[in-house]
Every structure is written in C-alpha cells, then in structure tokens.
C-alpha cells in the first residue's frame, strides 16, 4: 500500500489598483464684473492615454463657496458662476474621482485666479480714478 502525504505551496502576490490619474483643466476670464455671470470651462482627461472622459461631475468653488457643477459631455464641462464681492479670487474646479467597471479614476483639480471689479473696472483702476479726481480738485482750488 502506498501512502500519499498532502503537500501545499504558497506564493505572495501584490494586487495593484487599477487607478488611473486624471488631468482637469480650468479656463475662466481673468477679469469679471461684480454680480454678473461668467463662464468657466475645461476638460477632464485620462493622464495615461489623454482620452477625454464623459459622464463625470466637475464642481467649482472659491473661498469655500460653491459656484456650481456640471457633468462632462465628450470630456468637456461649462460652469456659470457669479461672485458678488470685489476682489481677487482663486477658483478651484475639482473632480472627486470615480469608479468604473475595472477602472478607478483618481481625483484631480484645476485652479484659476480672477479679478472682480465694478462694471469692468478692476479695484486698482478705481483707486487710480479716485486719486486723479482728488489731484484735479486740488489744482482747481489753487
């Protein structure tokens, strides 16, 4: 009679994530008018093969305040926003990442700085006009 002994073997494997980096772009006007709508736009692409990604939600904020969101169509998005206070603001568009069958898309951000003025005049220009008016008044009083 032959006796067989059980045998086994082990191996270690590393399971890597299928996460793919993404690239989010953001374009917005550099100067906008206080209280007037303006449009931001951009694209969301896979970093590995530059493919545009559709059906993903992009959100835009400034100073923690939401400006809006859009779902990418053919990899592009448009978000209309309004800011009511003058100043210079940094807008951040964000993609939170997502999971598709067999693929995880990593989060990404796009950043843009805008200047907000009154009726198209930036705050620096307003100060210049006020100073010129005071100088002209002082000259005419002499």
Domain ranges across the chain: 19-141
Say what the pLDDT of residue 117 is. Answer: 75
H or E element at residue 88: strand 87-95
What is d(CA 89, CA 30) in angstroms, rounded to the nearest whole number? 10
Say what the pLDDT of residue 93 is. Answer: 95
Say what the pLDDT of residue 119 is. Answer: 56
The architecture (CATH level 2) of 19-141 comes to Sandwich (2.60)
Q: Each residue's pLDDT tens digit in the chain (142 positions)?
A: 777 788 888 898 876 667 899 999 999 998 889 999 999 999 999 999 999 999 999 999 998 899 999 999 999 999 999 999 999 999 999 999 999 888 899 999 999 888 877 654 444 434 444 434 444 444 444 4
Please provide the distance, in angstroms rounded to a whole number, between the alpha carbons at the two ends of the chain. Answer: 127
> Among the residues of the chain, which ranges form H helices?
123-141
* pTM of the model as a whole: 0.70
């Amino acid at each position: 009679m032959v006796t067989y002994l059980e045998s086994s073997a082990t191996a270690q494997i590393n399971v890597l994530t299928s996460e793919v980096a993404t690239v989010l772009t953001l374009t917005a006007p550099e100067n906008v008018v206080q209280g007037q709508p303006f449009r931001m736009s951009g694209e969301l692409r896979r970093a590995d093969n530059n493919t545009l990604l559709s059906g993903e939600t992009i959100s835009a904020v400034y100073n923690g305040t939401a400006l809006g969101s859009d779902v990418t169509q053919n990899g592009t998005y448009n978000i209309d926003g309004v800011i009511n206070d003058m100043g210079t603001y940094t807008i951040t568009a964000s993609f939170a990442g997502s999971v598709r069958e067999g693929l995880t898309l990593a989060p990404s951000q796009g950043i843009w700085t805008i200047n907000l003025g009154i009726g198209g005049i930036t705050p620096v220009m307003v100060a210049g006009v006020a100073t010129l008016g005071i100088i002209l008044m002082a000259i005419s009083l002499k």
